[in-house]
Structure 1
Amino acid sequence: MASLGDLLRDWHQGAQAVARGDWDCALRLFSSVSEPPARVSFNVGCVHLLAGDPEAALRAFDRAVTKDACLAVGFLQRGVANFQLERFQEALSDFQRTLAQLRDNTAIDYTQLGLRFKLQAWEVLFNVAAVQSQLGLWAEATCSLGDAISKGPEGVRNDLDIALGQVQKQVPLQPRQVPRGEVFRPHRRHMEHLEPVDFLGKAKVKGGGFSLLGPRRSCLCPQALDVRGEARPRAAAR
């Protein structure tokens, strides 16, 4: 079984490989993590999407949401993979599950969990409309975009109006997803434990202070701690 230090090192180096666009290296490092947490499986899925392999991405996102049924962003990305595979009913189900995880909140900020991304309700509604447009459900897509407009900030109103015009002309939409190159990274304070190096040049974990054990969930519990010792994502005010 891999040590805590090995897991953190491979996770960190995999994220660095994603940042420089080295998909093969990133996949090799993330895949080397034995019994990966949901966030590492999520990372694998994102890299497969970047590499143009939505089938492999779908399998990775399946693993992520199986390990963490509250990982809303995992359902979002699985919906994108299903959309790319033209499995539109499955994509619609995934985006609807993403909305359910938002629990009527306007957003979930994943920054504190190491992903520089804020999941916005209006973007999920946009994706619902994108699937509905692919299925030829134009009236439903128009309604979903109306909901997106009501929940979106003023700065995105113009883009949503353009999308609404496309749907009214029966032009299908493409879904939104996590920005290119963004993946979960281990928390900085955890990486501080890897700074000392022994005489063989291998990073060592200092002391205790944190654990990788515990329930693997990311539900919206502002007071709770995540499995890997990090605060859970907070929902925006309703």
Structure 2
Amino acid sequence: MTTTPATLIVVDDDPEIRELLADYLGRHGYRALVAEDAEALHRLLARETPELLIVDLMLPGDDGFTICRELRRDSEVPIIMLTASADETDRILGLELGADDYLGKPFNPRELLARIKAVLRRTRGPATPCPPAEARLVAFGDWRLDRMTRELVDRQGARCSLSGADFQLLQVFLEHPGRVLSREALFELTRGRPAPPLDRSIDVHVCRLRQRLGEDAQHSQLIRTVRGAGYVLTASVDVLS
């Protein structure tokens, strides 16, 4: 049976990088499309449904932040952000706006490929219904999680869709209720690789997940901060179906 290659879109104003990545990703089984700016990206999105975007932070016109912000209004397509900036603030802001991962320039294409594979593993939904050991509906606190649709449902029935990164992080917490998980453990369990030294991106993702759960860092009851140790999901987890 022939498998349709995943469609990726590379958004970068450097033609050499676009050509390099299109060729490299194509040789590794992906259908790689390219865009030089936000306008070209939107033209592509009008006719294509990519499984992942690779977006340079510094673009003419609308920059990578703007693209990420606008896409997250109505799309959960995974985004890997490329940045030549050494400022960690830029990377944190990108994650807060909904990027799933980031990679500094210059980079090794093999590392980008590994990150693409890791993000797609986290964000692709199951092709078949969840087996009994992977129950579709689980309850915790005042919430239910539908693992098939990746939606949170509150007591009033209101639904909230989760991005791939938020869903994967919540999955890790639900698999380890009551257990304190260090930042390093959370990074490795969600990203599939060890955390870089001094990386604080997990804090950003936890903050964003708390917002989805209607909580803030200082008053979080579901995901509590354990000073000097990490984070813990305090609620019990029940399988519904």
**TM-score bucket of the superposed structures, by smaller chain:** under 0.3
The TM-score, its normalising length taken from structure 1, stands at: 0.26
- Identify the structure with the greater helix proportion: 1
Which of the pair has the greater relative contact order for Cα pairs under 8 Å at 6+ separation? 1
- Identify the structure with the greater strand proportion: 2
